[in-house]
């Protein structure tokens, strides 16, 4: 097992006056501008002390029906070994695969997720750090801690603090969105999942800015976002202002009745090529800036085999889209999804199958379970800057 971040901190030597005069600047260890440049370093989450999240409207509204019946019965308890052991085996296999492909893997520190904590207005237990893609957003040389809407994830980024400090000391920018209060005013107590044909509605309000990093994907100077049950308009606007004029954020309309995270809806795989979910995305509603891109329609997911996998997955059926690009050709995907494997081959990619189904009980698949720290590439624009939606501001 790879050592956690605190065991991997590299002491920086103090340079003498003469060496300072001739030394060249050390490249920043954080550099990631999109979803497809060659991957060199990545954080992979772990499930040590993973705890079934405290039952709350934000948690239950996004789960498949079978899981929504199962999880409240065990809320606040550690995940049972029957779920954790196979997931850990798959996680180890995934890490070995990445290292075999030449990617440096970093692991967050252990955290006591089972312990109860409280603010002046509410209390909860933790969850896990299985999905670093949710709590941290990398844009160029900056790592941003996100203001997540789940109370059980309030202190989740503490697992990454050793790594964040290491990257900061080596030149990366490290920032955090305003810590949300997550009081009752943020949540819609009368929320019901919209039925087909009904207007969109969300379990969170606009009381304060909240967002998960996994509701964003990066394409150089452009980021795409889906508004969801964990990301509100105020959160999107906070990030837009924070990033400033160097970047543009564009919303993708999703018809998912319970949206949460863009990477099972809209997933850029390479310059000019994007994978979409045919159930949630209508091609005619895509932003005009994508008119010159090749739109790849994800195949229907292959059914999940095994009763425990079905009732324990926290994710929807379109997890076959939750892939990780190692570069413009190599794509890590679920080995139990032959339809997606064949589709990737047909589109000219090189799929790398890996067993990872048991990780769905902890919140996601390959894209969710990782955070790109360094990809070999530079910031650039992949779109015509004049192609905007009518309601978008410059």
pLDDT digits (tens, 9 = 90+) for 54-82: 888 888 776 777 666 777 788 899 999 99
Per-residue pLDDT at 24 = 53
Convert the pLDDT of each residue in 189-218 to its tens digit. 888 888 888 888 999 999 999 999 999 999
CB count, 10 Å around CB of 258? 17
15, pLDDT greater than 70: no
Place of tokens 């970047």: 247
Query: Mind giving me the DSSP string for 320-359?
Result: GG--EESSSSEEEEETT-HHHHHHHHHTT-EEEEE--GGG
Per-residue pLDDT at 197 = 84
Residues carrying an active site annotation: 212, 261, 368
Distance CA 250, CA 323 (A): 22
Backbone phi and psi for residue 51, each to the nearest 5 degrees, phi listed first = -125, 135
Per-residue pLDDT at 325 = 98
CB count, 10 Å around CB of 307? 9
Q: Reduce the DSSP state of residue 173 to 3 states and report it.
A: strand
Per-domain residue ranges of the chain:
29-375
The stretch 278-306 carries a mean pLDDT of 95
4, pLDDT greater than 80: no
Give percent of the chain above pLDDT 90. Answer: 77
> Using alpha carbons only, what angle is made at residue 373 by residues 370 and 374, rounded to the nearest 5 degrees?
125
The stretch 374-393 carries a mean pLDDT of 72
Higher local confidence (pLDDT), 161 or 195: 161
The stretch 235-246 carries a mean pLDDT of 97
Per-residue pLDDT at 209 = 98
Q: Which two tokens stand for residue 387?
A: 């192609």
Per-residue pLDDT at 392 = 44
159, pLDDT greater than 70: yes
The alpha carbons of the chain give a radius of gyration, in whole angstroms, of: 20
Per-state percent for the chain, helix, strand, coil, to nearest 5: 30, 20, 50
DSSP-derived pairing of the beta strands 324-325 and 330-334: antiparallel
Per-residue pLDDT at 306 = 79
Per-residue pLDDT at 26 = 67
Per-residue pLDDT at 13 = 39
Distance CA 68, CA 4 (A): 32
The stretch 268-286 carries a mean pLDDT of 97
Alpha-carbon torsion 101, 102, 108, 110, what sign? positive
257, pLDDT greater than 50: yes
CATH number of 29-375: 3.75.10.10
Place of tokens 């050390």: 26
The stretch 105-132 carries a mean pLDDT of 97
Place of tokens 């999880």: 71
Q: Which two tokens stand for residue 83?
A: 């779920």
Task: Decide if 110 contacts 49 (C-beta within 8 A).
Answer: yes
- The conformation of residue 4, written as its DSSP 8-state character, comes to B
Distance CA 137, CA 373 (A): 10
What is the average pLDDT value for the chain, to the nearest integer?
90
394, pLDDT greater than 90: no
Convert the pLDDT of each residue in 305-348 to its tens digit. 877 777 777 788 999 999 999 999 999 999 999 999 999 999 99
Per-residue pLDDT at 385 = 59
Query: Which of 94-108, 184-198, 271-285, 322-336 shows the lowest per-residue confidence on average (mean pLDDT)?
Result: 184-198
Per-residue pLDDT at 192 = 87
């Amino acid at each position: 097992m790879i050592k956690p971040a605190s065991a991997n901190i590299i002491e920086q030597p103090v340079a003498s006056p003469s060496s300072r005069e001739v030394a060249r600047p050390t490249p920043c260890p954080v550099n990631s501008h999109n979803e497809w440049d060659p991957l060199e370093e990545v954080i992979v989450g772990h499930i040590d002390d993973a705890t079934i999240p405290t039952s709350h409207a934000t948690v239950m509204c996004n789960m498949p029906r079978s899981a929504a019946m199962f999880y409240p019965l065990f809320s606040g308890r550690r995940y049972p070994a029957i779920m954790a052991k196979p997931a850990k085996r798959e996680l180890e296999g995934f890490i070995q695969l990445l290292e075999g492909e030449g990617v440096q893997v970093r692991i967050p520190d252990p955290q006591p997720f089972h312990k109860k904590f409280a603010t002046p207005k509410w209390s909860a237990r933790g969850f896990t750090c299985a999905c670093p893609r949710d709590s941290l957003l990398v844009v160029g040389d900056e790592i941003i801690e996100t203001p997540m809407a789940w109370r059980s994830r309030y202190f989740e980024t503490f697992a990454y603090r050793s790594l964040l400090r290491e990257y900061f000391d080596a030149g990366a920018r490290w920032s955090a969105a305003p810590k949300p209060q997550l009081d009752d005013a943020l949540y819609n107590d009368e929320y019901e999942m919209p039925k087909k044909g009904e207007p969109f509605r969300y379990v969170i309000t606009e009381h304060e800015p909240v967002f998960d990093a996994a509701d964003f994907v990066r394409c150089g100077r452009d980021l795409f976002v889906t508004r969801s049950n964990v990301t509100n308009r105020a959160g999107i606007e906070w990030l837009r202002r924070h990033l400033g004029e160097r970047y543009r954020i564009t919303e993708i309309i999703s018809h998912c009745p319970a949206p949460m995270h863009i990477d099972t809806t809209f997933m850029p795989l390479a310059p000019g090529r994007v994978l979409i979910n045919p159930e949630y995305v209508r091609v005619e509603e895509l932003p005009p800036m994508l008119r010159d891109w090749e739109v790849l329609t994800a195949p229907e997911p292959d059914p999940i085999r095994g009763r425990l996998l079905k009732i324990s997955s926290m994710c929807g059926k379109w997890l076959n889209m939750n892939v990780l690009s190692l570069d413009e050709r190599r794509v890590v995907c679920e080995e139990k999804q032959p339809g997606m494997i064949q589709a990737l081959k047909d589109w000219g990619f090189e799929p790398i199958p890996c067993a990872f189904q048991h990780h769905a009980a902890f919140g996601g698949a390959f894209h969710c379970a990782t955070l790109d720290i360094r990809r070999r590439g530079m910031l650039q624009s992949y779109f015509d800057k004049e192609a905007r939606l009518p309601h978008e501001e410059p």
